[in-house]
Structure 1
Amino acid sequence: MGEAKARKAAAERARLQRKLPVNLHTLHGGELSYREESVKVIEEDPELMDHVELIETVMDYIHFFVGRPSKDLDHETIQLLTCRMWNDIAASLGQALRGYYQISAMVQRDIMEVVFLMSMFIREPARIKQWRESDHKTRQTVFAPRKVREFLDTYDGFTEGKRGKNYRMFCEYAAHATWEGFRLMGPANGKPQLGPFYDPTLMKAVIVELAQLAAQAGANAGHWYDTGNDPEAMLTQLRRMEVSMLWLERYFDRPADRRTINELKKAIALTSDQAV
């Protein structure tokens, strides 16, 4: 009996002394090397830097405003949804930099779902409470992704079905197991492979899509967050608006209405003068 107890005790000590397997450290090292290579390429490409700057600006904006006290339960619901978008954006960018392009795109589908859901709430704020208190059946019949897209298309009078096409792209190439999805598991025009890899063409494509979703996430979040007379809040709002405006002008040829930005700059200047 004594020997059996000793063997058991030794086995338990060995169990408690285990370390993370070397293979996982090796994998992490490989991911970090891909990240370093990705960052180098991004910093040498003005267009990629434009997209990454927009992504970071939106993340900074959300991070600032979700940390402020909520006004009521509906506002807290919006804060939680924008927290989810922040987490998704961070995860998607991180996966893209480390060479997991399919996973990055898969996470982007979740951003799109939340963007569409918040777009519904902007049009009909009463639906926030309905969504929060809904059971599974209601979520499937009213708030399922397809139902939300149909609501938005009908509300906006859109008949082209662009929202559905974009959503299906993320489903077929990333979120669902499909033959087409294997194209994101290997270098462009190459064979799918196991584990992360580096491909500048795929990285750029994924980051461009992420920037577009981040711009929408920032615009939707901006609908709900007031700056008041807080100079820091106004500066954070101004940065998001200016970076987004320049990005839209450069990549979508959409001249921005600078009146809101100019009014915000005047408010910031007035607040600064009053502080002095």
Structure 2
Amino acid sequence: MEDHKLNYLKQEFVTREGSIHCISLEKGYEEYEKFIDMSLHTMLAFNNEIPEDEDTKSIQYLGIRFVNSVFSMKQLLLNGYYQSAFMLLRDLIETGFLMEYFLHYPSKIGGWRNDSANSSWEFSPKNIRGKLDKKEMRDSLYKIYSEIAIHPRWEGIKLVSKDGVMQPVPEFIPSYLILGLENLAKLVPYYCRIYIYFIKSDDPEVQDLKNEFNIYYDMKQKEGYFQLFRVFQKNVNI
């Protein structure tokens, strides 16, 4: 009898090799990788110390969750698990919005930390989006990835199919891989910037990393890098 599990794992390896080769073909794709990795490296450097302040520590927990989800999403993209990858992207968006909310309303961090029953409307995803600028864009982004990746709806079937044909094993689909990397390369630096605003460090090496990241970020921002966010054949201005 055919070993279906072994075939599945073999196809995962083939898909990963194809993904890595695809990224190496275009300078732009490698640029996505560079910006994502630079952002993650910077965020992790600020996690070497545990802050005494409870509010700062709360942000650090959110940052750790964010970083873990980015690493996980990258692995899922490379291996061809696109639905699961974009499911994590929705989580990244929600976590990022919350960090951004606390940037504007730092006095709310304690209330969120003490809302153990998760019953407060104040910290619901919808209310958080409503309190931030560009609400329409945020609502659209949240809705698209909820419908396509989170909820088992027909709109999301494309993520487990190729050219309309069901794929029972991980299949390399370049457009999904690149879209996922591009989304990460726009979101991760943006929320890295917010995260390192909260977390402080006196380590000179960490400060050098922060300065290097900020210089690169500002350069990309001047180039208009963050102005357009592609989402499954839809463009969302951010």
Query: TM-score w.r.t. structure 1 length?
Result: 0.76
Deviation at 1:130, TM superposition (A): 0.3
**Number of matched pairs:** 225
Deviation at 1:44, TM superposition (A): 1.7
Identity rate of aligned residues, in percent?
24
Deviations 1:196-241 (A, max 9, x none): 110111111111112122122211112112243x221112112322
Q: Distance in 1 between matches of 2:222 and 2:167?
A: 38
- Cα 1:75/1:46, change in 2 over 3 Å: same
Matched, 1:242 2:215: yes
Q: 2:32 aligns with which of 51, 55, 61?
A: 51
- Give the aligned partner of residue 235 of structure 2: none
- Give the aligned partner of residue 169 of structure 1: 144
Letter matched to residue 223 of structure 1: Y
- Give the aligned partner of residue 195 of structure 1: 169
RMSD between aligned residues: 1.9
Q: 1:61 aligns with which of 33, 42, 45?
A: 42
Q: Distance in 1 between matches of 2:69 and 2:63?
A: 10
Deviation at 1:24, TM superposition (A): 4.2
Contact 1:92 1:108 in 2 (8 A): yes
> Which sections of structure 2, spanning at least 5 residues, go unmatched?
228-238
> Which sections of structure 1, spanning at least 5 residues, go unmatched?
1-21, 255-276
Q: Which has the higher strand share?
A: 2
Greater RCO, 1 or 2 (C-alpha within 8 Å, sep 6+): 2
Deviations 1:80-136 (A, max 9, x none): 100000000001111001011111111000111111101111111111100000142
Matched, 1:144 2:118: no
Q: Distance in 2 between matches of 1:253 and 1:150?
A: 21
1:98-247 correspondence runs (5 A)? 98-136=79-117, 138-139=119-120, 141-153=121-133, 158=134, 161-187=136-162, 189-228=163-202, 230-247=203-220
Contact 2:11 2:169 in 1 (8 A): no
Deviation at 1:61, TM superposition (A): 1.1
Q: Distance in 2 between matches of 1:210 and 1:137?
A: 27
Letter matched to residue 28 of structure 2: E
Deviation at 1:38, TM superposition (A): 0.8
1:19-58 correspondence runs (5 A)? 23-58=4-39
Q: Distance in 1 between matches of 2:21 and 2:37?
A: 17
- Give the aligned partner of residue 231 of structure 2: none
- Cα 1:60/1:24, change in 2 over 3 Å: farther
Deviation at 1:25, TM superposition (A): 4.7
Contact 1:101 1:203 in 2 (8 A): yes
Q: Distance in 1 between matches of 2:215 and 2:149?
A: 32
